[in-house]
Amino acid sequence: MNNYLDITKSVIISSPAGSGKTEKLARRYISLLKNGVEVERILAITFTDKAAAEMKQRILRILKDEESELFSKLIERVSLMRVTTIHSFCGTLLRRFSFEAAIDPNYRIEEALNSRITWEEIIYEILMEAGVRSQKARGRNDLVLQTISEKGFRGLADLNKIINYLYEKRPFSIEAELICPLTVPPSLIEELKNWPGAGKAIEDYENVFKNSGRLAMSEKYFLTGVKEPKKRPPAGFKGIADYQGWALKMYLYWTGRKLEEHSQRAQRIKNIFMKCNETYRNKKRLRGILDFSDLEYLAYKLLLENPEWTNILYAFDEKTDHILVDEFQDTNNFQWAIIDSLTEEWRSGLGAKREAGTKPTIFLVGDGKQSIYLFRGANVELFSRAKEKLNAWLGKEFYYEEVKENFRSLPAIINFTNHVFLKLMDAREDSPFWKTGYSPLTFARSAEGLEPSQSGKVDLLLLDDKEEPISQTKKSEAELIAKKIQCLINSHVIFDRKTKAKRICKYMDIAVLLRKRTHLKKYEEALRHYGIPFVAVKGIGFYQEPETAMLRALVYFLSNPKDDYSLYVLLKSPLFLLDEAVIIKAMRAEGDCLFSKLITADETKGSGAFLQELLSQLPRLPVAELIETALSRTGAWKYFHEPQRRANIKKFIRMIEELEADGRSLIKLRDFLQHTYDKDDEPKANVNTEGMDAVKIMTIHASKGLEFPVVFVPGIEEEFKLKTAESLVYEKGGRLFFRYEPESAI
């Protein structure tokens, strides 16, 4: 047998979307069980809790349908199934070897919200401390003062953003090495100044460059568009050749100078980040907590750098014979290093397993074209490297398979995809590891119930070719999609794969897939305008939603009853629904603030009394409970009938509960809400859309693994943003690097 079910071989399967790669992993797992492997000796790793739960259910379903006897045996030992996420596995490893890892064995995982608040407080304290310390020492080279001097407090916000970016990139940013450019010889500038004919030219150029942080500026002044020295020398030079020699050296000098400055700035940024991280780590240690990113980093340190690593690996090896990894294309360097170290002895052909006649195996399944977790450090190159390594290590005991069948899409969709992506993803044999090639898909979906004419369709919707601002273009595009949806509803026929019958298209059959959420509001507004029910899956702008603004105003008022503006927002909201004229009339009553006037004015006494009651309960009831009381007693819930609105309210209450559970006072709650006021990238609450007849709007990223009969993909004309803050921390040749470029869009 020479296929992926041969349990004597280690296997890598390259399996594209819709080809059943998760099914193949489940079948491999079952093949191991059928060949007598004990369930507790199999470790199956995937990347989300949902995927792990679905994997376990799929294995059990197949066994129930096809291997009833084996199913009965497994169901008795189902608690021993090790189908888990990489982070959960790392957590188990750390608890087992907590002494070696130097952590509290009873550690708990910090809630993401509390982690973020603690980190923000640390950044603020350290940046302010650095600025004050440098100001006292009159330190001109201090990063904080230099940043404020150059860009004002907007520059400080940018610096905060960079450090927050490095926080998001942990653990990669902790381990990253600094790129240090070559040092510019001090003698070079003297040579340039003394060059015959240079004269005033060097002063002019120095004035330009010393006020610019952009490397591109030196190219603009010294080089042509094809990167050759310019041929029109300023007055004073002997000729073109003389000027070109000077200009080339001048260009190299200023480029080197700027690279040195960037390197120094990068070092200062990293120093501040590392100090923040050390402070954060100490705070976590004192409280006996870890955060999500600590798990794989500490497991990595435990397995690769701990003096007891051989004993740890032996203990793991003693209990595990087979490792299966799903969605391998989303693996990052640390995760692969962990898996690699766990299987090192297996590949060497040595160890107790071989002596006992056991053949341990590793099974990896994924698709380089679907690598979507770059922002979490996923490295698609690992997919190609793992294939080369396993082939070199195991030879005939390694099997590789590339699957091309697609069981999901109709012929027209497959043909269109093949036609486009064969041109876009043209990777040759000599292409770098990261450049993923495209292999044409073949139609393998069951044709049951389909007529020859029902092969699917791809439509290209074009706007009028006219110049207009991008916001207007997106608005027009959204309206075009909304109109098309209206045409499809109650007229377009689809094939329902669950019922295996044809029916009329519903809203729930339609998805709008966005590359990013930047213009999400435009699509929401268009669908709302045309009366089309929709749900924005993992939409953003949580803090800007009206229901969030209402509850934020309530917390503000509870923390300071003299906050007239917040009280005004409350009174106008669905909590009280007071008319503008009534509020204005109340403001004429006696009192030193709107609240005291509210209590005495005839038409607002009831509202004032209720608010007074809430304030009186503050010492003995949590704020989250008071919010729930306000919503139920005023009947405000009925005004938030949309599922998204209700879910957002529940998310806000949960956030307050988490913060209070962590010991945050009412003033701290207010500070947190003030800090997040203009944070426009916070996701809205998740909404359970199952059975809901509504169009789904989501990112392409969020749609992975889902199916819809009708899909809209707007914005295909947009270019990729190649230079972003992502370039701050990057991987090359198995090593992590840190760099700073002022040109990066941070």
Report the percent of the chain where pLDDT is more than 70: 73
Compute the CA torsion angle 31, 36, 39, 41 (nearest 10 deg).
-100
Mean pLDDT of 490-506: 86
Q: What pLDDT score does 274 carry? A: 86
Tens of pLDDT, residues 147-180: 555 555 555 666 777 777 777 777 666 766 665 5
Q: What pLDDT score does 618 carry? A: 92
Q: What pLDDT score does 328 carry? A: 84
Tens of pLDDT, residues 298-312: 999 999 888 988 888
β-pair partners for 698:
513
Residue with the larger pLDDT of the pair 456 and 720 = 456
Q: What pLDDT score does 611 carry? A: 94
User: How far apart are the C-alpha atoms of 341 and 105, rounded to whole Å?
Assistant: 23
* Residue that the structure tokens 């957590």 belong to: 91
User: How far apart are the C-alpha atoms of 743 and 746, rounded to whole Å?
Assistant: 9
Compute the CA torsion angle 49, 50, 56, 58 (nearest 10 deg).
-160
If residue 311 lies in a helix (H) or strand (E), which one and from where to where?
helix 309-317
Residue with the larger pLDDT of the pair 391 and 736 = 391
Report the percent of the chain where pLDDT is more than 90: 31
Q: At 120, is the pLDDT very low, low, confident or very high (cuts 50, 70, 90)?
A: confident
Tens of pLDDT, residues 590-619: 888 999 998 888 888 889 999 999 999 999
β-pair partners for 324:
44, 363
Residue with the larger pLDDT of the pair 574 and 257 = 574
Kindly write down the DSSP assignment for every residue of 374-433, as one continuous string: GGGTB-THHHHHHHHHHHHHHGGGEEEEE--EESSS-HHHHHHHHHHHHHHT---TTS-T
Q: What pLDDT score does 439 carry? A: 77
User: How far apart are the C-alpha atoms of 694 and 696, rounded to whole Å?
Assistant: 6
User: How far apart are the C-alpha atoms of 643 and 687, rounded to whole Å?
Assistant: 7
Structural domains in the chain, sorted by start: 10-103+294-403 (3.40.50.300), 110-284+720-746 (no CATH), 470-537+689-712 (3.40.50.300), 542-672 (1.10.486.10)
User: How far apart are the C-alpha atoms of 391 and 387, rounded to whole Å?
Assistant: 6
Q: What pLDDT score does 204 carry? A: 56
Q: Which of 19-28, 130-139, 674-683 has the lowest mean pLDDT?
A: 130-139
Residue 697 backbone dihedrals phi, psi, to 5 degrees: -110, 125
Q: What pLDDT score does 422 carry? A: 84
Q: What pLDDT score does 505 carry? A: 94
Residue 366 backbone dihedrals phi, psi, to 5 degrees: 180, -170
Q: At 712, is the pLDDT very low, low, confident or very high (cuts 50, 70, 90)?
A: very high
Residue with the larger pLDDT of the pair 260 and 272 = 272
Q: What pLDDT score does 745 carry? A: 34
Cβ–Cβ < 8 Å for 183, 260: yes
Q: Above 60 in pLDDT, residue 227?
A: no
